[in-house]
Amino acid sequence: MRIQALTLTAIALFGLGFAGTASAEGPSRIKDIVDVEGVRENMLIGYGLVVGLNGTGDKLGNAPFTKQSLTAMLERLGVNVRDQNLNTGNVAAVMVTSTLPPFTNQGSRIDVNVSTLGDAKSLQGGTLLVTPLMGGDSEVYAVAQGPVTVSGFTASGDAGGVTQNTPTAGRVPNGAIVEKEIGFDLASLPSVRLGLRNPDFTTARRIAATINQQYGSKVAVVENNSSVKLTPPAGKAVVDLVTDVEQLTIQPDQVAKIVIDERSGVIVMGADVRISTVAVAQGNLTVRITETPQVSQPAPFSENGDTVVVPRTSLDITGDNDQANIAYLPEGVTLQELVSSLNALGVTPRDVITILQAIKAAGALQAEIEVL
């Protein structure tokens, strides 16, 4: 008989409540909830070779791209090995990725990540050769090179091995030099927009109202639920305006939502979740089936009879029919009362998921349910 145990976790996050009053419940700085138009990172990618591996690189017979890259690199250096039988295990083809921060100047250094493409076992001790890093427009913005730092390792013998973390991925700190800057002049813009990371009309309106109150004029205008347009007043630069606005604080609003991850049993409920009058009943029925087969065989020296397996099945059915597991939830019940009522029923997180979905189907749950 095999018994499996599944541990589920239910998490209730109590939000900040209604944000109509300027209380000390935890307002957020505007810089923590918005992005400034044009101030963004840019993804870079490149293809390169890591050399100096201690026999843990690609097998050239299984990775033709590594062999072709190695041959092409040697030819550029004046070494002709075309049509030769290369059998080194100290080279690995890698993809090099990085992120170019906004307003990074030419000559600055940025970190790069390195990941293997072929069947290399580890990048430990390797060195990344010169690798151009391109943006989405196929232009080269940085060039990477340097020793690869790997946090994992692998060790093996004839009968087994051990691997810790991921030795086929590494990092080159300050391994790329920026060769080309992104052309964006923030200071010359007549206006700039703030993009909300969590779009919401109420939050956008509060941002605009706080900014206009700070300057005493209509500096900010709400364009939609995810954008607030800023126009600097006379004598104020855009950069100075953005700097001042970032330090202002507001109380963000949020949509009443319940997020459910059925795979792990995690439930996250916001503080604004409300339900109408509803009664909830929960009962458990457990059926346990146990197989204990027995062997039946004839007596010693018997002339007739065969040894056979005789199945033995035991069924045990239990239920909570004797308990009145029912809870009455009045209209406008809060999240805390909802969780307390469900806990009073002794329900599991998996049952909570089912109950919440049933309340939503009945039209009594005034919140959005998002299932991951």
Q: What pLDDT is stored for residue 312 in this prediction?
A: 66
Hey, which of 13-22, 57-66, 330-339 has the most confident mean pLDDT?
57-66
pLDDT band at 319 (very low <50, low <70, confident <90, very high): low
The pLDDT > 90 percentage for the chain reads 36
Weakest mean pLDDT among 109-123, 181-195, 254-268, 340-354: 340-354
pLDDT band at 173 (very low <50, low <70, confident <90, very high): very high
CB 370 within 8 A of CB 273: no
Give the model's confidence band at 361: pLDDT under 50 very low, under 70 low, under 90 confident, else very high: confident
**How far is Cα 314 from Cα 23, in angstroms, rounded to an integer?**
62
* Mean pLDDT of the region 122-143: 94
Q: What is the pLDDT of residue 14?
A: 33
Question: Which pLDDT value is given to residue 211?
Answer: 94
Q: What was the pLDDT predicted at 269?
A: 77
Taking the model in full, what pTM does it have?
A: 0.67
Proportion of the chain above pLDDT 70, given as a percent: 74
Any idea what DSSP says for residue 333?
A: B
Q: Per-residue pLDDT for 370 more than 90?
A: no
Beta-bridge partners for 114: 96, 170
Alpha-carbon distance of 126 to 56, in angstroms, equals: 10
Please tell me the distance from the alpha carbon of residue 149 to that of residue 195, in angstroms, as a whole number: 36
Hey, CA dihedral for 76, 77, 78, 83, is it positive or negative?
Answer: negative
Q: 285 or 371, which is more confident?
A: 371
Whole-angstrom Cα Rg for the chain: 32
Q: Are strands 34-36 and 42-51 parallel, antiparallel or unpaired?
A: unpaired
Weakest mean pLDDT among 16-20, 80-84, 252-256, 340-344: 16-20
List, in order of start, the domains of the chain with CATH numbers. 28-38+186-250 (3.30.1360), 42-178 (no CATH), 258-371 (no CATH)
CA-CA-CA-CA dihedral for 330, 333, 339, 341, to nearest 10: -20
Residue 188 has pLDDT above 80, yes or no: yes
pLDDT of 335 > 70? The answer is no
Q: Which residue has the higher pLDDT, 188 or 204?
A: 204
The pLDDT tens digits for 219-235 are 999 999 999 999 998 88
Asked if residue 152 has pLDDT above 90, the reply is no
Instruction: pLDDT band for 364, please (50, 70, 90 cuts).
Output: confident
Q: Give the residue from 256, 260, 259 showing the smallest Cα distance to 271.
A: 256
- 64-70-72 Cα angle (round to 5): 100
* Burial call 156-194: b when 16+ CB within 10 Å, e when fewer: eeeeeeeeeebbbbbebeebbebeeebeeebeeeeebbb
> Does 15 have pLDDT greater than 70?
no
Q: Which of 339, 352, 281 is nearest to 14 (CA)?
A: 339
Q: For residue 208, which of 186, 189, 187, 230 has the smallest C-alpha distance?
A: 230
- pLDDT of amino acid 324: 47
Q: Return the pLDDT at 8.
A: 35
Sign for the CA dihedral angle at 137, 142, 148, 149 comes to negative
Asked if residues 252 and 363 have their Cβ atoms less than 8 Å apart, the reply is no
Please name the residue that has the structure tokens 């979905």: 357
Over residues 300-329, mean pLDDT: 61
Mean pLDDT of the chain: 79
Task: For the beta carbon of residue 353, count every other beta carbon within 10 angstroms.
Answer: 22
pLDDT in the model for residue 359: 78
pLDDT, position 372: 79
- What pLDDT, on the 0 to 100 scale, is given for residue 6? 32
Q: Which of 17-21, 62-66, 341-345 has the lowest mean pLDDT?
A: 17-21
- Which pLDDT value is given to residue 157? 56
What pLDDT was estimated at residue 351? 76
The pLDDT score that the predictor gives to residue 2 is 37
Flag whether pLDDT at 22 surpasses 50: no
pLDDT by residue (tens digit) across 64-114? Answer: 899 899 999 998 888 888 877 888 889 999 999 999 999 899 999 999 999
Min mean pLDDT across 19-23, 114-118, 288-292, 304-308 is at 19-23
